[in-house]
A = this chain, B = another copy of it.
Amino acid sequence: MTFRAINEEITQCIGDRMWEPGGLIPSERALAVEFGVARGTVNRALQELARAGLVERKRRTCTRVVLHPVRGARIAIPLVAQEIAASGATYRYRLLLRAERAASACDADRLGIEPGATLLHVRCLHYSDDRRYQLEDRLINPAIASDTLQESFEKEGPNEWLVAVAPFSRAEFTLSCRLAKRRGGTLLEIDPKAPVFIGERRTWLLARPITAVRMLHPHTHRLMTTL
């Protein structure tokens, strides 16, 4: 009897309303006897169910079937190169722009630095089997590493470089969509009247901003997660 089997048995009981939403589940020790397994096995099964959100465990007290199962599920945003490689397609990268400049008011707002401070602006395209997959428009705070301004980003995207040099402690994501009529859309070579799907990410190391990136996808893009 594996912990996976126990997991399914318990899920079954909950689904059959043998144990009601909000109600108590028998103790680990009781379940261990019932299923004829060690308590450790039941414990592992219940831990997984708790992580999945089907069950709520209260230390030193009890385990109950969760009353309002989803407060909000979560969707994963993968790194683009990994995402494309995982799909089996060939990943290709092209640098469009690399500029060091003083931050405009708009940049400053987006990245969270002082207007006039130096920043690095990078724009590049990610291809999946020669189809334009994502347009990346990124601001980087050069203060994060001593050699930021030496990076050319000719061969490799900023993401690969950043994950290697700049750990972050806080991130903020936004997903939205709009019509493609503006510059970004034409760079993706899509109909200006078609929508684009936009992901934005900003990261900080403690209070110091690291990078702000805007990722544009054709509207055929799907962001998917299973959990």
Contacts and interface: CB of A to CB of B under 8 A. Distances in A.
Copies held by the complex: 2
A14 B169 CA distance: 10
Interface string A43-77: 00000000010100000000001111111111111
Interface stretch (A27-35, A96-104, A173-181): A173-181
Interface in A157-210: 160, 163-165, 167-179, 193-197, 201, 205-206, 208
A87 interface: no
B201 A167 contact: no
A143 B52 CA distance: 23
Given A66-B167, A176-B197, A223-B175, A74 B71 contact: no
7 contacts: A11-B169, A14-B167, A70-B82, A71-B82, A72-B76, A72-B82, A177-B219
